[in-house]
A and B are shown apart, each in its own frame.
Chain A
């Protein structure tokens, strides 16, 4: 995988400790590290140049604060800069209309994920109390309309199934759109989601069709759907779509991959339109409202811990969480709590996707990159089995677990003594780590804010 920006900066700044100011002389390497990190994240090179240029101006002459390493300070300036570029506001859907249904038109290149996003959005709108109606006007790709119909079934959303009478594709597209809107009105649906065929911004005929569709439906929202893995071309395709259609926002899909999502920055920079949603997973609940502060962390390699926290909040009982917090602080975090945590975490989804959201620095660094421990789901099952094989006393007070108890636990859980040892070692380390955090309110707060990378960087940077 790519080095995270903070890794790079740590190397650059190894020799910079003790310099009081960020100066022309010492900023060159830093800016080059930033440039490479952004390029690795697939941010368009022209956007990179601008961001790096701005960073130079802002960083020059700044005092290096005593509490921060220069690396942290540059990351902070850069992070603020990127947040500026991406816009600080979370952009909401505009569904106000005097004549329902409000129309959302999806647009994008082939394979960007329009159909899946359409169904996810329908599900999300339904949960918010709307009555969405779906239609696919993709008369080109084989089985595209069947695909949306099947997904609509999963999203429990009605879908327009009528076949067009016209043999001319453009006429068929407009006919479908018209008929679907009529049907949406008849059914009393308040939002019409229109899935369209994937197209190249170079394809005059299809882009013209899109403009006709726009004219016919006067959509509230035109969402440009783009693959998060897109490289340098994101700037151009988004720019062209926007020039020809004036889209109102973008959706970045396939965020569950390990791409760094620099396309978000490029798209926003070129079009000025907000990224409204992030799509991940093939499950229909895999759509989240976009928060610029989160993707910035990902582009910089700082992880996406905020998203994780939010997801955790919906899965974890709030009261339990508060109790846990108390336990962490008071050093009463038992193996039983550890097991509860494990179960909760597994409720959140596959561990892999969770790991990717963790920041790549600080205490979580070991979970990332090459040194990443091989934690597969099977191992979690074994850990749980080990804890299950302990007595209540052992779970509360791990100190009592001696050699013969370890043997018994290993036999009981079908594991080995080594595995039991390893688990106990990890558990002790974890307690120590939590203790460090609770001992230092400053560190704790910073971890929570994700304002800056964690403690390791400060110690080593």
Chain B
């Protein structure tokens, strides 16, 4: 199961690295706070109400959320009622498929617009936008694309310097202005430059903002409009960067950022910790937002395409990551 955690990956070393990182932790964590789906189902010959409740708890423990977990388990209960002698393996398959279905969101096909392709990262403070942007840059650079970084976080102290460090690491140019400048103006500059030079991608870093701050959300909407004025259809992707440790508030974040900025997908970060990031299931389910990438470490290549199957496997306790 470990081998399939995040699907075929060009960086083969990642799974072993993750596995090794986790192995130490498992030994040290004395009591597992979380019941694993596989553990619950092991040896069961029928699906009792207690088992269903334990499964519900396992989903809640992964931050799927009580309401979503209940609905998912209700479907399983119906299925179990229709088939009295359902064995554990069938139940497991049903549950797994249900979760995968939640995550499989139809993504509109990418139109082959002329470059530059403009990608903007948004999210609350500390979600990992800048780090993700650095890793995303590396991915595009590996594909042989030219990239311009746009430092539109003009608010947080030393945000520009942080992005500059990533620009240097990845050998990429960064467009920036003075701290406190209008972020839309920086975007205007970066997009104009990219258009003139025929750059393949522009990656926009934005200041972290809580979704409850109307003025900051409106600023985001303006940034988006500005991008669209320089390059028709831009930003082509707006990713919500979401910390895997986020609880039920993640759903509200996704709603508000979608309303203000038109999110096209989610990037879930910090999946190398013990949090399982189950809130993305609720988000994908309610808002039909695809999860596009997963951040799994601090290294430049620790950003991998998200795969629903392998993510769900990790919820099922197939890996040490789900303690």
The 9 closest A-B pairs by CB, nearest first: A231-B247, A111-B126, A142-B165, A42-B247, A233-B275, A143-B161, A150-B157, A147-B158, A259-B249
Contact A229–B214 (Cβ < 8 Å): no
Q: Can you add 17 more A-B contacts, CB < 8 Å, to A149-B158, A256-B210?
A: A40-B65, A40-B67, A113-B125, A140-B298, A143-B161, A146-B158, A147-B156, A232-B60, A232-B63, A233-B63, A233-B274, A233-B275, A234-B247, A235-B33, A237-B275, A256-B212, A258-B252
- Judged by a CB distance under 8 angstroms, whether A132 is at the interface is no
Chain A, range 109-142, C-beta contacts under 8 Å to B: 109-113, 140-142
Chain B, range 243-273, C-beta contacts under 8 Å to A: 243-250, 252-253, 270, 272-273
- Out of B33, B211, B270, name the residue touching A257 (CB < 8 Å): B211
A-B contact list, 17 entries, CB within 8 Å: A45-B57, A142-B162, A142-B165, A143-B160, A229-B124, A230-B245, A231-B250, A231-B278, A233-B245, A233-B275, A254-B124, A257-B249, A258-B212, A259-B248, A263-B247, A282-B155, A350-B215
Q: B278 — which chain A residues lie within 8 A by C-beta? A: 231
| Nearest CB of chain A from residue B248's CB, rounded to whole Å | 6
Which of A83-91, A201-209, A445-453 lines the interface with chain B?
A201-209
- A112-B243 Cα distance, complex, nearest whole Å: 10
- Judged by a CB distance under 8 angstroms, whether A395 is at the interface is no
- A173-B252 Cα distance, complex, nearest whole Å: 38
- Judged by a CB distance under 8 angstroms, whether B6 is at the interface is no
Q: A356 — which chain B residues lie within 8 A by C-beta? A: 212
- Judged by a CB distance under 8 angstroms, whether A352 is at the interface is yes
- A234-B126 Cα distance, complex, nearest whole Å: 16
Interface string of B155-174 (1 = CB under 8 A from A): 11111111011100000000
- Judged by a CB distance under 8 angstroms, whether A288 is at the interface is no
Contact B214–A257 (Cβ < 8 Å): no
- Using CB atoms, name the residue of chain A closest to B29: A240
Chain A, range 145-170, C-beta contacts under 8 Å to B: 146-147, 149-151, 154
- Judged by a CB distance under 8 angstroms, whether B22 is at the interface is yes
Q: B249 — which chain A residues lie within 8 A by C-beta? A: 42, 229, 257-260
Q: B197 — which chain A residues lie within 8 A by C-beta? A: none
Contact B274–A237 (Cβ < 8 Å): yes
Contacts A1-B252, A356-B212 hold; do A232 and B128 have CB atoms under 8 A apart? no
Q: A230 — which chain B residues lie within 8 A by C-beta? A: 245-247
| Nearest CB of chain B from residue A351's CB, rounded to whole Å | 10
> Could you say which of B157, B165, B215, B247 has the most chain A C-beta atoms within 10 Å of its C-beta?
B247
- Judged by a CB distance under 8 angstroms, whether B190 is at the interface is no
- Judged by a CB distance under 8 angstroms, whether B127 is at the interface is yes
- Judged by a CB distance under 8 angstroms, whether A46 is at the interface is yes
Contact B125–A254 (Cβ < 8 Å): yes
- Judged by a CB distance under 8 angstroms, whether A79 is at the interface is no
Q: A154 — which chain B residues lie within 8 A by C-beta? A: 157
Q: B88 — which chain A residues lie within 8 A by C-beta? A: none
Contact A109–B60 (Cβ < 8 Å): no
Contact B157–A39 (Cβ < 8 Å): no
- A413-B184 Cα distance, complex, nearest whole Å: 33
Interface string of A25-60 (1 = CB under 8 A from B): 000000000011001111011100000000000000
Q: A309 — which chain B residues lie within 8 A by C-beta? A: none
- Judged by a CB distance under 8 angstroms, whether A11 is at the interface is no
Q: B244 — which chain A residues lie within 8 A by C-beta? A: 233
- Judged by a CB distance under 8 angstroms, whether A376 is at the interface is yes
- Judged by a CB distance under 8 angstroms, whether B229 is at the interface is no
- A44-B213 Cα distance, complex, nearest whole Å: 27
- Using CB atoms, name the residue of chain A closest to B160: A143
Q: A150 — which chain B residues lie within 8 A by C-beta? A: 157-158
- Out of A41, A143, A151, A282, name the residue touching B164 (CB < 8 Å): A143
Interface string of A252-281 (1 = CB under 8 A from B): 001011111011000000000000000000
Contact B213–A39 (Cβ < 8 Å): no
- A257-B250 Cα distance, complex, nearest whole Å: 11
Q: B100 — which chain A residues lie within 8 A by C-beta? A: none
Chain A, interface residues (CB within 8 Å), range: 35 or more
- A46-B54 Cα distance, complex, nearest whole Å: 12
| Nearest CB of chain A from residue B133's CB, rounded to whole Å | 12
- Using CB atoms, name the residue of chain A closest to B168: A142
Provide the main secondary structure of the chain B interface: loop
- A146-B161 Cα distance, complex, nearest whole Å: 8
- Judged by a CB distance under 8 angstroms, whether A2 is at the interface is yes
- Judged by a CB distance under 8 angstroms, whether A200 is at the interface is yes
Contact B161–A231 (Cβ < 8 Å): no
- Judged by a CB distance under 8 angstroms, whether B62 is at the interface is yes
| Nearest CB of chain B from residue A370's CB, rounded to whole Å | 13
Q: A304 — which chain B residues lie within 8 A by C-beta? A: none
| Nearest CB of chain A from residue B299's CB, rounded to whole Å | 12
Contact A257–B212 (Cβ < 8 Å): yes
| Nearest CB of chain A from residue B11's CB, rounded to whole Å | 19
Contact A231–B210 (Cβ < 8 Å): no
| Nearest CB of chain B from residue A34's CB, rounded to whole Å | 12
Q: A234 — which chain B residues lie within 8 A by C-beta? A: 245, 247
> Could you say which of B33, B161, B162, B249 has the most chain A C-beta atoms within 10 Å of its C-beta?
B249
- A257-B216 Cα distance, complex, nearest whole Å: 13
Contact B214–A111 (Cβ < 8 Å): no
- Judged by a CB distance under 8 angstroms, whether B44 is at the interface is no
- Judged by a CB distance under 8 angstroms, whether B181 is at the interface is no
- Judged by a CB distance under 8 angstroms, whether A444 is at the interface is no
Contact A109–B273 (Cβ < 8 Å): yes
> Could you say which of B66, B159, B162 has the most chain A C-beta atoms within 10 Å of its C-beta?
B66
- Out of B65, B161, B212, B243, name the residue touching A227 (CB < 8 Å): B243
- Judged by a CB distance under 8 angstroms, whether B42 is at the interface is no
Contact B158–A257 (Cβ < 8 Å): no
Q: A262 — which chain B residues lie within 8 A by C-beta? A: 247
Interface string of A354-380 (1 = CB under 8 A from B): 001000000000000000000010000
Contact B273–A44 (Cβ < 8 Å): no
- Judged by a CB distance under 8 angstroms, whether B122 is at the interface is no
Chain B, range 195-226, C-beta contacts under 8 Å to A: 210-215
| Nearest CB of chain A from residue B185's CB, rounded to whole Å | 21
- A110-B21 Cα distance, complex, nearest whole Å: 17
- A313-B160 Cα distance, complex, nearest whole Å: 38
Contact A352–B61 (Cβ < 8 Å): no
- Judged by a CB distance under 8 angstroms, whether B49 is at the interface is no
- Out of B60, B66, B274, B298, name the residue touching A236 (CB < 8 Å): B274
- A147-B247 Cα distance, complex, nearest whole Å: 27
- Using CB atoms, name the residue of chain B closest to A38: B66
- A420-B31 Cα distance, complex, nearest whole Å: 63
Contact B273–A200 (Cβ < 8 Å): yes
Contact A110–B270 (Cβ < 8 Å): yes
- A230-B250 Cα distance, complex, nearest whole Å: 9
Q: B275 — which chain A residues lie within 8 A by C-beta? A: 231-233, 237
Q: B62 — which chain A residues lie within 8 A by C-beta? A: 232
- Judged by a CB distance under 8 angstroms, whether B284 is at the interface is no
- Out of A142, A202, A231, name the residue touching B21 (CB < 8 Å): A202
- Judged by a CB distance under 8 angstroms, whether B107 is at the interface is no
Q: A376 — which chain B residues lie within 8 A by C-beta? A: 214
Contact A46–B33 (Cβ < 8 Å): yes
- Judged by a CB distance under 8 angstroms, whether B144 is at the interface is no
Contact A202–B24 (Cβ < 8 Å): yes
